[in-house]
Every structure is written in C-alpha cells, then in structure tokens.
C-alpha cells in the first residue's frame, strides 16, 4: 500500500503554531520545538502552510518568491533543519503549492507589468475587464498604471493569476516542484489547483457569487497542466492533495482516478456545508442524515479520499458540528468527531489544535478580524441590508480566523504560544483548553485522538473497508466498514438528548468509556463495535 494512505497528516499554519523568538508570530524554530508532541500524537506527515517570502495580503498565500523562506518564519537553514529533525522522527513534510497566482511583488509580475518581452504573458492582461468576481467578493480585474491594462485576480488584487496558456509558466512551476522535492519534501498540498486554466475571458453567466466560475473550474486545460506536473512528480516518491474549490464528484474522479493520477487525492467541501448555504456563510439546520448522505457519496464515489474536518479556512469542528455549551458536551463531542474522522476510509488530516478540541475564537466584532474574506463578506452582506447583529452572527461562526488563533499550549499568558504580543488574539478559553492540561489526562481529547490514530493504524478494515451507511435520522449517524468478512460498526449521536439506538457487537472503543451496550446512546456518544 502507498505510504501516504497509511499515515496521518497534520496541518501547521506556521504563524499561529509556535513562536520561538518572541515577535508574536509563529516560526520554523517553534515548529521544531514541538515535533515531540506531533510524534506522540502519531503524526506521519506535516502539511506546512506557506512559509515563503510574502507581503501577507492573504497571510502567505500571496507568494513573492517560491524558493525562499520569509524572514518572519526564519531562514532556509531553519527549513533544512526542520526537514532533518522531522525525518529523525519518521515524519515527512509536504509543502503548500500556491501556483494559481503569485504576489504582485513577485519579480515575474514586476517584469510582466513592465512589459518585459520574456514575462509580459506570464499573467492575464486585458484592455477591458469582464464581469467576473473574486472568491473575496470583489471585482476580479484591477487596472495597472504601469502596464496601462487590467490584470485578472480570482482572489485579492495583490494575487495576480498566472497565465497557464503560456508554456514558460508551466516550466517555471516545474522548477519550483523540483526545488522542494530535491530538498526532501514528500509532496504538496495544491492550493485551488482546479482553477489554473481559464478557457476564455468572455463575460460569464451572472451568479450571486463567483461569476466566471464556469470559465475556469476544472477545465480540460487544467487537466493538461496537471498532467505536465505529474510527469515531474512521478520522478519522486511523493504524493499530492489538491484543494479543489466547488468541485463535484465527477470532476473529483477525473482529477484523481487511479489511471491518470493528476492528483493523488482532493479536498472537497460538501461535508462541511450540510448546514450552510451560499459559500459557507449563511447557516441552516444541521441534520446527521444529510451528513451521512454526503459522506456516503464521497466515500463510495472516490477510490481514495482526503478526510478532513478542519483547516486554516474552516471554523473549528467542535464548534461547528459539536457542542461547546458545557465542558462534558465539549469533550464528548470533540471525541465523537475524532471517532468519525478516523473510522472513514482515506488519508486523515488533522489541523493544529483540533487534537485538543480548540474552539472558535471569542472575538466580539468584525473589527477584530484579520481575514480579508471575512471583512469582504461583511461589506457584501451590508449591501444586502443584513443587520449588523445578524452579519456578525454569520461571520463569527464561519470566519477563517476561527482556525487562526494561536495554538493553546498551556494556561499561561498567550497560551505558551509566544513571549511577545500574538499577531492575532489568543482565545480566553486557553486557561482550560490547552496541551499541558491534556497531555497526561487519559480522559482528554488529546488522549482520545492518540487512541483513535493508533486504532486506525492497526485496522485495515477502518483504513480500506467499504463504507456502508446504515441507521439514519436527523440526530444519529451510523455506518459499517467492511473488508472481506471483517465488519466494524460505528454509531454517533449528534444531539444533546439520549436517543434509543439498538446496537450489537463487541465494543472496541467509545468516547464515554462504557463497558456494555444498552440500546440507548447518551448525548454526543460515539461507539465503535466489532460486528
């Protein structure tokens, strides 16, 4: 079996993980200081969000030099040290490949806007804008005074889109792939990798959000570019996971089917939006039935899945699908969600802090937010005359900043993240929710994550078994994993009430430590049984 199917991937958002030099921003030396905890957790791969030189218009997803380390995170020697220290612990590292766009401060863009013949077609320029808009709810074209033309950007205006109709651009990115693979990277998480190739620049069908999407989402041109990258990747023992925005199942299959393997796996979004509408911000009622239907679709639709419930763009899963209204419900629902994650088939991804049940932040207004997407969503909702209180309720629940508050290492000031002033506020609940309080507590969320990761590692049924949905209603979610004759049953109560549910089998693990089955599920109880 491929090693990347066996291992658990842990995502580090470096600016919020661990600060070693007291400037309030996490850094590479800080990561090295915490590798022991990651080893203890059972991590086999680190996905490192961008640490490259960047002016930070989009927190590092606007890169000005792909083959560098931004001084705020340290030096290339620090990065080499991280590769070797991680390797000593048998932890591989995949880098974040953000190549749909660069920063407008990248030398390629500086030369392109200056009409340098070698670079003038590295980006997408036009004499007049079309009607497309961005993922950040703004116009997708900005007029450049130097060039005297408009340039396309599907995200921030400081993130100009590269032109993948230009073979030189593809060759440049192949060099970036080789640079990091030669340094020891074990692959890449590929940012918005399904929107690289724009069919044409004509006006598109008007949409409430993302007008222009049909012009660039998973186009045949994108497949061809990915095939070119695959030729380089196949020279190395590595894997790729594509972040594929708005992807549907048919597109996902075409991107990561076993034959073409343009990508080894992809992140899709449906399972995190069963209680959301209009691009994740507008809430609707959660139903376990809906979540099970979506999981069934993707578990049985793809040959191999990337299983995740958090990342640097998503709200904290225990606040989203769990219950933080009281300590016992918080603990139990965090463990229930871990039970879900590690009994699904696919490579599990854990986001920093998820393993200790970190919750959404406790900010009180949009003015406290750092994230450009959240601030622009507030502006857009204001245009629709949504009242401030309701705007904040929606944005506070879905903002990407929920995942970006510093990791809570202990109960000291700034949660042990920094000796300086943290770049983004530390959640006040770090006094009770932190690594130090959980490391040696057998009942902690952290200990349960370690147990579930160990359980998965030892079970081919959980890793590779078929996913068979069973009991479904709006509160209880249950399924069977089957591999040959072996079957494991999983049942979860996504509600604060006791629920009747007949369960047979021999208990393997539960988040309540029960020793026998009783036909009733306690609030947020999860049970895994051998059938």
What are the catalytic residues?
Answer: 191, 243
The verdict on 251 binding ligand ISL (CB under 6 A) reads no
Distance, in Å, from the CA atom of 7 to the CA atom of 37, rounded to the nearest integer, reads: 16
Helix or strand holding residue 390 (H, E): helix 388-398
Return the residue of 27, 78, 191, 525 that touches ligand ISL, per CB under 6 A: 191
The verdict on 63 binding ligand ISL (CB under 6 A) reads no
The verdict on 13 binding ligand ISL (CB under 6 A) reads no
Return the residue of 34, 72, 280, 290 that touches ligand ISL, per CB under 6 A: 280
Specify the residue, 313 or 323, whose C-beta has the smaller distance to ligand ISL. 313
Shortest distance, CB of residue 44 to ligand ISL, whole angstroms? 22
**Dihedral of CA 25/28/29/34: which sign?**
positive
State the binding string over 330-369 for ligand ISL (x if CB under 6 A, else -). Answer: ----------------------------------------
The verdict on 401 binding ligand ISL (CB under 6 A) reads no
Residues linked to residue 283 through DSSP beta bridges, in sequence order:
276
Shortest distance, CB of residue 221 to ligand ISL, whole angstroms? 19
DSSP 72-126: TT--HHHHHHHHHHHHHTT-EEEEEE--SB--TTSHHHHHHHTT-TTTTTSB-EE
433 with 458: CB under 8 angstroms?
A: no
Specify the residue, 155 or 467, whose C-beta has the smaller distance to ligand ISL. 155
Distance, in Å, from the CA atom of 198 to the CA atom of 216, rounded to the nearest integer, reads: 4
The verdict on 310 binding ligand ISL (CB under 6 A) reads no
Return the residue of 125, 216, 269, 423 that touches ligand ISL, per CB under 6 A: 269
Q: Which residues within the stretch 364-393 sit at the binding site for ligand ISL (CB under 6 A)?
A: 373
Tokens of 43: 């991590």
Shortest distance, CB of residue 106 to ligand ISL, whole angstroms? 14
Specify the residue, 239 or 269, whose C-beta has the smaller distance to ligand ISL. 269
Specify the residue, 132 or 135, whose C-beta has the smaller distance to ligand ISL. 135
3-class secondary structure, 519: coil
Shortest distance, CB of residue 472 to ligand ISL, whole angstroms? 26
Helix, strand, coil % in the chain, rounded to nearest 5: 35, 20, 45
Return the residue of 63, 98, 509, 528 that touches ligand ISL, per CB under 6 A: 98
Q: Reduce the secondary structure of 416-479 to three states and give it as a string.
A: HCCCCCCCCCCCHHHHCCCHHHHCCCCCCHHHHHHHHHHHHHCCHHHHHCEEEEEEECCCEEEE
DSSP 208-273: SS-TTHHHHTT-HHHHHHHHHHHHHHTTSS-EEEEE-TT--HHHHHHHH-TTT-SSSEEE--GGG-
397 with 378: CB under 8 angstroms?
A: no
What residues contact residue 259 under an 8 Å CB cut-off, 6+ apart? none
Shortest distance, CB of residue 243 to ligand ISL, whole angstroms? 6
Specify the residue, 358 or 491, whose C-beta has the smaller distance to ligand ISL. 358
The verdict on 61 binding ligand ISL (CB under 6 A) reads yes
The verdict on 252 binding ligand ISL (CB under 6 A) reads no
The verdict on 308 binding ligand ISL (CB under 6 A) reads no
Shortest distance, CB of residue 49 to ligand ISL, whole angstroms? 8
Distance, in Å, from the CA atom of 310 to the CA atom of 318, rounded to the nearest integer, reads: 10
* Cα–Cα–Cα angle for 308, 435, 460, rounded to 5 degrees: 40
The verdict on 266 binding ligand ISL (CB under 6 A) reads no
Return the residue of 19, 27, 58, 251 that touches ligand ISL, per CB under 6 A: 58
The verdict on 404 binding ligand ISL (CB under 6 A) reads no
511 with 359: CB under 8 angstroms?
A: no
Nearest in space to 463 (alpha carbons), one of 341, 352, 351: 341
Shortest distance, CB of residue 120 to ligand ISL, whole angstroms? 24
What residues contact residue 33 under an 8 Å CB cut-off, 6+ apart? 18, 20
Q: Which residues within the stretch 445-484 sit at the binding site for ligand ISL (CB under 6 A)?
A: none
The verdict on 119 binding ligand ISL (CB under 6 A) reads no
Give the position of tokens 């300590």.
Answer: 327
Return the residue of 155, 349, 449, 522 that touches ligand ISL, per CB under 6 A: 155
| Distance set, CA 66 to CA 101, 105, 471 (Å) | 11, 12, 48
Specify the residue, 268 or 430, whose C-beta has the smaller distance to ligand ISL. 268
Specify the residue, 58 or 78, whose C-beta has the smaller distance to ligand ISL. 58
Q: Which residues within the stretch 135-154 sit at the binding site for ligand ISL (CB under 6 A)?
A: 135
Specify the residue, 78 or 373, whose C-beta has the smaller distance to ligand ISL. 373
488 with 531: CB under 8 angstroms?
A: yes
DSSP state of 329: H
The number of residues that bind ligand ISL (CB under 6 A) is 15
The verdict on 66 binding ligand ISL (CB under 6 A) reads no
Return the residue of 43, 140, 181, 192 that touches ligand ISL, per CB under 6 A: 192
Residues binding ligand ISL (CB under 6 A): 58, 61, 98, 135, 155, 191-192, 243, 245, 269, 280, 312-313, 373, 400
């Amino acid at each position: 079996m491929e090693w990347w199917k066996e291992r658990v991937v842990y995502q580090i958002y470096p600016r919020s993980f661990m600060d070693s030099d007291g400037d309030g921003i996490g850094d590479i030396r800080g990561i090295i200081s915490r590798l022991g905890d990651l080893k203890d957790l059972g991590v086999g791969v680190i996905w490192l969000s961008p640490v490259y030189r960047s002016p930070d218009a989009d927190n590092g997803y606007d890169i000005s030099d792909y083959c560098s380390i931004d001084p705020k995170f340290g030096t290339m020697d620090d990065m080499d040290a991280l590769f070797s220290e991680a390797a000593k612990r048998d932890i591989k590292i995949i880098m974040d490949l953000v190549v749909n766009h660069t920063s407008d401060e990248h030398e390629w863009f500086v030369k392109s806007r200056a009409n340098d013949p070698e670079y003038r077609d590295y980006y997408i320029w036009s004499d007049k804008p079309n009607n497309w808009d961005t993922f950040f709810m703004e116009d997708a074209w900005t007029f450049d005074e130097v060039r005297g033309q408009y340039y396309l950007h599907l995200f921030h205006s400081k993130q100009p889109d590269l032109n993948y109709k230009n073979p030189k651009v593809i060759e440049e990115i192949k060099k970036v792939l080789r640079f990091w693979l030669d340094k020891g990277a074990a692959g890449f998480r590929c940012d918005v990798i399904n929107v690289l190739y724009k069919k044409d620049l004509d006006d598109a069908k008007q949409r409430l959000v993302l007008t222009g999407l049909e012009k660039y989402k998973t186009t045949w041109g994108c497949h061809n570019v990915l095939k070119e990258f695959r030729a380089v990747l196949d020279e190395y023992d590595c894997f790729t996971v594509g972040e594929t925005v708005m992807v549907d199942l048919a597109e996902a299959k075409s991107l990561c089917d076993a034959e073409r393997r343009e990508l080894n796996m992809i992140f899709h979004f449906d399972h995190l939006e069963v209680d959301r509408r209009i691009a994740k911000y507008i809430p609707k009622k959660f139903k376990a039935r809906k979540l099970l239907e979506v999981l069934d679709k993707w578990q049985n639709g793809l040959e191999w899945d990337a299983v995740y419930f958090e990342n640097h763009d998503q709200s904290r899963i225990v606040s989203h699908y769990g219950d933080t209204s009281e300590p016992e419900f918080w603990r139990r629902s965090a463990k229930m969600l871990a039970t879900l994650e590690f009994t699904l088939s696919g490579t599990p991804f854990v986001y920093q802090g998820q393993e200790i049940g970190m919750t959404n932040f406790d900010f009180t207004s949009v003015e406290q937010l750092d994230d450009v997407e959240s601030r622009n969503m507030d502006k857009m909702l204001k245009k629709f005359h949504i009242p401030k209180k309701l705007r904040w309720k929606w944005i506070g629940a879905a903002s990407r900043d929920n995942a970006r508050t510093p990791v809570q290492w202990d109960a000291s000031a700034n949660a042990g993240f920094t000796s300086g002033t943290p770049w983004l506020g530390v959640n006040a609940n770090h006094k009770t929710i932190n690594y130090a309080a959980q490391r040696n507590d057998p009942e902690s969320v952290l200990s349960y994550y370690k147990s579930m990761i160990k359980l998965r590692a030892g079970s081919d049924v959980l890793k590779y078994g078929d996913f068979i949905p069973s009991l479904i209603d709006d509160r209880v979610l249950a399924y069977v994993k089957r591999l040959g004759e072996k079957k494991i049953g999983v049942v979860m109560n996504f509600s604060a009430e006791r629920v009747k549910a007949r369960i047979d089998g021999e208990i393997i693990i539960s988040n309540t430590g029960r020793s026998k089955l009783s036909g009733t599920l306690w609030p947020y109880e999860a049970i895994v049984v051998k059938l």
